[in-house]
Structure 1
Amino acid sequence: MQSPLFGYTEAQTQDRYALQNPHMLRVALTGHDDVLARKGSMVAYQGMIEFDGEYRTHGQAYAQAYTGEGLDLMRCSGQGTVYLANLAQHVHVVDVDHDGLTVDSAYVLALDSALHWEPVAVDSQSAISSTGSYSLRISGRGKVALMTSGQPLMLQVTPEKYAYADADAVVAWSSSLRVQMQAQTSSSSVWRRRGNTGEGWELSFAGNGYVLVQPSEMLPPQGAQIGQGLMAQYGLGAQGAHGQNQGNIWTN
């Protein structure tokens, strides 16, 4: 049997986290340190690997129900290799240190079980942004695998150089940064879905750190069918653009 497909054999590396290709993560398990992965993200494995639902405390479950931010994870344990992916999105491995990482939970593929996470409020003068006013802060020391729709942009932020990004395109940022949600225009048109310019809400970042931005937004293109009713026209609720896009490429 011969085929160019044999050029896509498993990555030969001793690293615990390694990219099998731009869209698939390879995690090596030695029987000591488990990895927590997005539910349903396993595409293949070799060796003696067990998959269990990750227990969430009452506080974690309540926080996710209240804020909309949380992680639905499975615990991968044992000895062997597990391959993780989600909708062929680009995968990126990040080392979390004492500065911490703040991320939209929809873009987390996997993380070390020793890391801690909790919902945090994003400073905002309004609560109608389609991204919501909460994100997930991950702290401790370990690795996190993030996902983006397409190749992302990493912006450096310094005290002399602020950064601004569309709230729907921001994936993650250094927890040390000061963040504020704001409208790109002060006119009443911003209350219509993304206004007349196709742009609406943005996040501003100040301090020292980095911001990860993907070349895609959570909402569909302007003019897409988004449902009926007043809330839908604002992009809110189950009939809004955000609700309609649950489970597709814009939110996973």
Structure 2
Amino acid sequence: MSNYSLDDFLKETQEDATKNSFFELETERVLEVNLDGQVWAKMGSMISYTGNIKFEREKVLEHGLGKMFKKAFTGEGTALMKATGEGKLYLADQGKKIVIFDLEQDSISVNGNNLLAFEPSVNWDIRLMRKMAGIASGGLFNVLLDGQGKVAITTHFEPLTIRVTSENPILTDPNATVAWSGNLKPEFKTDISLRTFIGRGSGESIQMEFSGEGFVIVQPFEEVYRTTGG
């Protein structure tokens, strides 16, 4: 454990006032939003703010009937809050690492549990993963984001990005899968193996298979999803 004088500790950990982009990594686990308008963020992710900012929970019909029914069906945990105003907003999610993407008319699908924040200019929609309905731990949905603007996602520990090609399909553990190219549509397959029975409980192990052209982001951690009511 490092020893600091109080002045040294303040210098080491204080915010960097020279940063002023809309999304900035204040640390690798804290997102700074330089807000002058509006941002969507994961409910409960605010850890601090300065200025005049108002927080509103996502309303039932905020994004139309279609998304409302999807949220009700999945029971998913990506309840959103809308932060509006002017100031500095700091977001974090259980100490996970944060990655910022700048979408430029492209798209990415994110596991709902790994979505932290995005600009209002980004289009989004909930995609159900119906073949996953048998998994008791949840994780039945992902969020497709496209258009133009900043998106922040979270991962446990260091993420790994794997290139997918038509000659090289990729299989992943659903609980370790964070995000993938918006054009990819994963297929789900089951595999009964000796490892399944001896190691992680009896039954079928479920895998996600990605084929085509794109990428998949995985984390070295198997997430247990906790669903909440919308």
Query: Out of 11, 14, 35, which is 2:39 matched to?
Result: 35
Q: CA deviation at 1:202?
A: 1.1
From the two aligned structures, give the one with the greater strand fraction.
2
Q: CA deviation at 1:7?
A: 1.5
Name the CA distance, whole Å, in 2 between partners of 1:71 and 1:60.
12
Q: CA deviation at 1:197?
A: 4.4
Count of matched residue pairs = 215
Please provide the CA RMSD for this pair.
2.5
Letter in 1 for 2:27: N
Q: CA deviation at 1:131?
A: 4.5
Counterparts of residues 216-227 of structure 1 (less than 5 Å): 216-219=221-224
Deviation track 1:172-224 (CA, whole Å, cap 9, x = no partner) reads 11111131111233x6x79xxx53343821111111111110111124xxxxx
Name the CA distance, whole Å, in 1 between partners of 2:57 and 2:101.
24
More deviation, 149-158/130-139 = 130-139
**In structure 1, what is the equivalent of residue 197 of structure 2?**
195
Q: CA deviation at 1:132?
A: 4.5
Letter in 2 for 1:21: T
Deviation track 1:126-147 (CA, whole Å, cap 9, x = no partner) reads 6323445432222222221111
Counterparts of residues 41-56 of structure 1 (less than 5 Å): 41-56=45-60
Name the CA distance, whole Å, in 1 between partners of 2:55 and 2:172.
37
**In structure 2, what is the equivalent of residue 5 of structure 1?**
10
Aligned CA distance change for structure 1 residues 162 and 112 (closer, same or farther; 3 Å): same
**Any unmatched runs of 5+ in structure 1?**
220-241, 248-252
Letter in 2 for 1:53: R
More deviation, 12-21/91-100 = 91-100
Q: CA deviation at 1:165?
A: 0.9
Q: CA deviation at 1:117?
A: 2.1
Name the CA distance, whole Å, in 1 between partners of 2:197 and 2:144.
30
Query: Out of 137, 150, 156, which is 2:157 matched to?
Result: 150
**In structure 2, what is the equivalent of residue 19 of structure 1?**
25
Name the CA distance, whole Å, in 2 between partners of 1:146 and 1:177.
18
Deviation track 1:76-125 (CA, whole Å, cap 9, x = no partner) reads 1222111101111111112234442112111111111222222223374x
Letter in 2 for 1:26: E
SS at 2:15 equivalent: coil
* TM-score normalised by the chain length of structure 2: 0.82
**In structure 2, what is the equivalent of residue 59 of structure 1?**
66
Name the CA distance, whole Å, in 2 between partners of 1:41 and 1:132.
19
Name the CA distance, whole Å, in 1 between partners of 2:91 and 2:104.
23
Matched, 1:112 2:119: yes
Percentage of pairs with the same residue: 31
Higher relative contact order, structure no. (Cα contacts within 8 Å, ≥ 6 residues apart): 2
Deviation track 1:28-56 (CA, whole Å, cap 9, x = no partner) reads 1124xx11111121111122222222323
Query: Is residue 160–residue 219 contact of structure 2 (8 Å, CA) maintained in 1?
Result: yes
SS at 1:100 equivalent: strand
Counterparts of residues 168-183 of structure 1 (less than 5 Å): 168-183=175-190
Query: Out of 127, 148, 159, which is 1:141 matched to?
Result: 148
Aligned CA distance change for structure 1 residues 205 and 97 (closer, same or farther; 3 Å): farther
**Any unmatched runs of 5+ in structure 2?**
1-5
Letter in 2 for 1:16: F
